[in-house]
Copies of this chain bind each other. A is one copy, B any other.
């Protein structure tokens, strides 16, 4: 039982869905390809955490719907009591910044503009999800509250990233203004 499998279990605890659908639902919060998800679901079913049935569709390909079992619910609740491991972020851009000093300004600007586009589309996507969350009953035990909290996590993060890009672009535009007079350089 790895972290991804608990994520899938958490999604299936809300409502049954196909592997394809799970892949799409988990995407914004945990990147996983279908080639990782399908075998994992099969293994989880073999271990009795899930059950499945096939749904025939006339217009689209048939699909396999997974649903969580009592054993699955139990495993999920056990997991809730364990401590959470710290986040792992692997961002090529961080590594790129190690050698920003030997890059030309033009390609640096393009890199930050590209990252701004990334954050803007992520913000748009998450705000779309946010709009779909029912505003009534946003109290602790509700699924809407879970969703709200999770989407805000991504949203605040993406906005911080966007702010950072804008800060850096302004600093680069300010050019060779001496740092004593540069309003962008703030230690704290």
Q: Which residues from chain A sit less than 8 Å from chain B, CB to CB?
A: 3-4, 6-7, 9-11, 13-14, 29-31, 76-77, 79-81, 83-103, 105, 107-108, 111, 114-115, 118, 127, 130-131, 135-143, 145-146, 148-150, 152-154, 156-157, 159-161, 163-164, 167-168, 171-172, 175-176, 179, 182, 185, 187-188
**Contact A89–B88 (Cβ < 8 Å):** yes
Residue contact A30 to B90, C-beta cutoff 8 Å: yes
Give the docked Cα–Cα distance between A107 and B83 (Å): 9
Q: Are B30 and A146 in contact (CB under 8 A)?
A: no
Question: Are B84 and A182 in touch, CB under 8 angstroms?
Answer: no
When A85-B92, A176-B139 are in contact, do A97 and B182 touch as well, CB less than 8 Å? no
Question: By the criterion CB–CB under 8 Å, are B185 and A3 in contact?
Answer: no
Number of copies: 2
CA distance A105 to B168 in the complex (A): 40
A116 to chain B, nearest CB (A): 12
Q: Is there an interface contact between B88 and A13, defined as CB atoms closer than 8 Å? A: no
Complex interface: chain B residues within 8 A of A182 (CB): 138
Q: Within the complex, which residue of B96, B127, B130 is in contact with A80, where a contact is CB–CB below 8 Å?
A: B96
CB distance from A76 to the nearest CB of B (A): 6
